[in-house]
Copies of this chain bind each other. A is one copy, B any other.
Amino acid sequence: MKPGDAVGKPAGERRPLRIALLGCGTVGSQVVRLLREQARDLEARVGAPLELAGVAVRRIDRRRDVEIDPALLTTDAMGLVTRDDVDIVVEVIGGIEPARTLILAAMERGKSIVTANKALLAEDGATIHGAARRHGVDLYFEASVGGAIPLLRPLRESLAGDHVHRVLGIVNGTTNYILDKMDSTGASFTDALEEAQALGYAEADPTADVEGFDAAAKAAILAGIAFHTRVTAADVHREGITEITAADVASAAAMGYVIKLLAICARSEDGRSVGVRVHPAMIPRSHPLAGVREAYNAVFVEAESAGRLMFYGAGAGGPQTASAVLGDIVAVARNRLAGTRGPDESTYADLPVHPIGETVTRYHVALDVADKPGVLARVAEIFAKHDVSIQTVRQEGHGDDAQLVIVTHHAKDAALSATVESLRELDIVRAVASVMRVEGEDER
């Protein structure tokens, strides 16, 4: 169809907008179900019927969560996305290839794209966004971050007249489930991971989640939109949660903290650069993010005029992610009917992404130390030498169990790292028991 050729006709006379679906797993099968069950509502909201043109799958005969007319199934994804009767391509395969090649081929033929593919957008957003602009097609990807939670549209559109300082949140449900279990039951990382796998919250190979790759891709996407700057996954400082021990969790709990895997996108103080990082951090138990349980996600946005906003909801799951996909389908369908497009990627600010060492943060450091006079003085000297100011220090235990627990004031991450390195070399420090960043105290 030519964009706009249905405008003005009564809904009943408009030819359907036809959708090619790439992938029919957890999310894809829910997209099929919703397109079917909500068909009337969708038609009323779009102004024309939405019709499934075909579903590209790897294996035709696999058992699926939803019944699909066999005539719609195909293993020829490229053939499907380039068909003339397809208006909108919905990509829920995930991963870089073949998703990228298929999306680019579809755009070249003028199809609007709806995708949930955070990995692709975070790794090669330049190519994908560039192609969308060049071919004048829509590229919507609300489902790529925060599952069902409307996040990208509010950031991109509702806050388009504001100045975002920081985006801070829990954007990976698997790791939040694991850390929540560790916190609430005292389980080890391994046990909590196994439980998450048994319940379907974690995959057989959990690397993407527990090593922070998934959260880092989402952080890159959030930072790009929030700061009008292109940010890739490679720009994101990333640490996973595999080394968090039950002892770390218990010790945090004893001090009134909870450990969460956070994605933090923040402008530097002078506003001239941005930092994007994903790592476990201690947050006060009174912080709203501390109350985000199980596999839920929540994201804080701090903007100059709007102040602090929070968005909370299910960060994953078939129906939840499909809800976000459907919202995007309605948007691109309306745009096609109106002969228009949604806003392009906005990267005009083009701010440099500074390395983690430049980030200003706070540390919680637990040191196993010799229990003798002068220990604190020597430890404090190391902090002072690196210009890191100590907020609180507490000695716990005696003799062989003596531990110094130190919480610092804000300092550059590089200075904090260097401090910890120096501490490791100190003869009176038997071991650096734990080092963790502390977040969320300033905005309580």
Q: Which residues of A contact B (CB under 8 A)?
A: 30, 34, 38, 41-42, 44-45, 142, 148-150, 153-154, 157-163, 228, 288, 291, 303-314, 317, 319-320, 322-331, 334, 338-341, 343, 346, 348-349
A331-B148 contact, Cβ under 8 Å, with A307-B314, A326-B305: no
Q: Are A326 and B38 in contact (CB under 8 A)?
A: no
Q: Are B163 and A38 in contact (CB under 8 A)?
A: yes
CB contact between A312 and one of B38, B45, B312, B330 (< 8 Å): that residue: B312
Q: Roughly how many angstroms separate A154 CA and B155 CA in the complex, as a whole number?
A: 11
Q: Roughly how many angstroms separate A148 CA and B228 CA in the complex, as a whole number?
A: 20
Q: Roughly how many angstroms separate A30 CA and B313 CA in the complex, as a whole number?
A: 31
Residues from chain B with a CB closer than 8 A to the CB of A159 are 150, 323, 327
Q: Roughly how many angstroms separate A348 CA and B38 CA in the complex, as a whole number?
A: 14
Q: Are B346 and A45 in contact (CB under 8 A)?
A: yes
Q: Are B228 and A160 in contact (CB under 8 A)?
A: no
Q: Are A153 and B157 in contact (CB under 8 A)?
A: yes
What are 15 sample pairs from A and B whose C-beta atoms fall under 8 A apart?
A38-B163, A44-B349, A45-B160, A45-B161, A148-B309, A150-B154, A154-B158, A157-B327, A161-B329, A162-B327, A304-B319, A305-B319, A306-B314, A311-B311, A338-B340
Give the residue name and chain of the B residue nearest to A312 (CB).
Answer: B310
Question: Given contacts A38-B162, A161-B330, A309-B311, could you give 8 more A-B pairs where the C-beta distance is less than 8 Å?
Answer: A149-B309, A150-B154, A162-B323, A303-B323, A305-B326, A306-B323, A307-B317, A309-B313
Residues from chain B with a CB closer than 8 A to the CB of A305 are 30, 34, 148, 319-320, 322-323, 326
Q: How far is the CB of A140 from chain B (nearest CB, A)?
A: 10
Give the residue name and chain of the B residue nearest to A33 (CB).
Answer: B305
Q: Roughly how many angstroms separate A152 CA and B277 CA in the complex, as a whole number?
A: 31
Q: Are A161 and B325 in contact (CB under 8 A)?
A: yes
Q: Which 5 pairs between the two chains have the least Cβ-Cβ distance?
A: A161-B326, A150-B158, A150-B154, A148-B306, A340-B340
Q: Roughly how many angstroms separate A44 CA and B229 CA in the complex, as a whole number?
A: 12
A324-B306 contact, Cβ under 8 Å, with A38-B163, A160-B331, A161-B38: yes
Q: Are A331 and B157 in contact (CB under 8 A)?
A: yes
Give the residue name and chain of the B residue nearest to A42 (CB).
Answer: B161
Residues from chain B with a CB closer than 8 A to the CB of A326 are 160-162, 305
Q: Roughly how many angstroms separate A324 CA and B44 CA in the complex, as a whole number?
A: 28
Interface-centre pick from A157, A159, A306, A313 (highest chain B CB count, 10 A) = A306
Q: How far is the CB of A111 from chain B (nearest CB, A)?
A: 18
Give the residue name and chain of the B residue nearest to A45 (CB).
Answer: B160
Q: How far is the CB of A172 from chain B (nearest CB, A)?
A: 17
Q: Roughly how many angstroms separate A324 CA and B306 CA in the complex, as a whole number?
A: 8
Give the residue name and chain of the B residue nearest to A43 (CB).
Answer: B348
A311-B314 contact, Cβ under 8 Å, with A305-B148, A327-B160: no
Q: Are B343 and A340 in contact (CB under 8 A)?
A: no
Q: Are B312 and A348 in contact (CB under 8 A)?
A: no
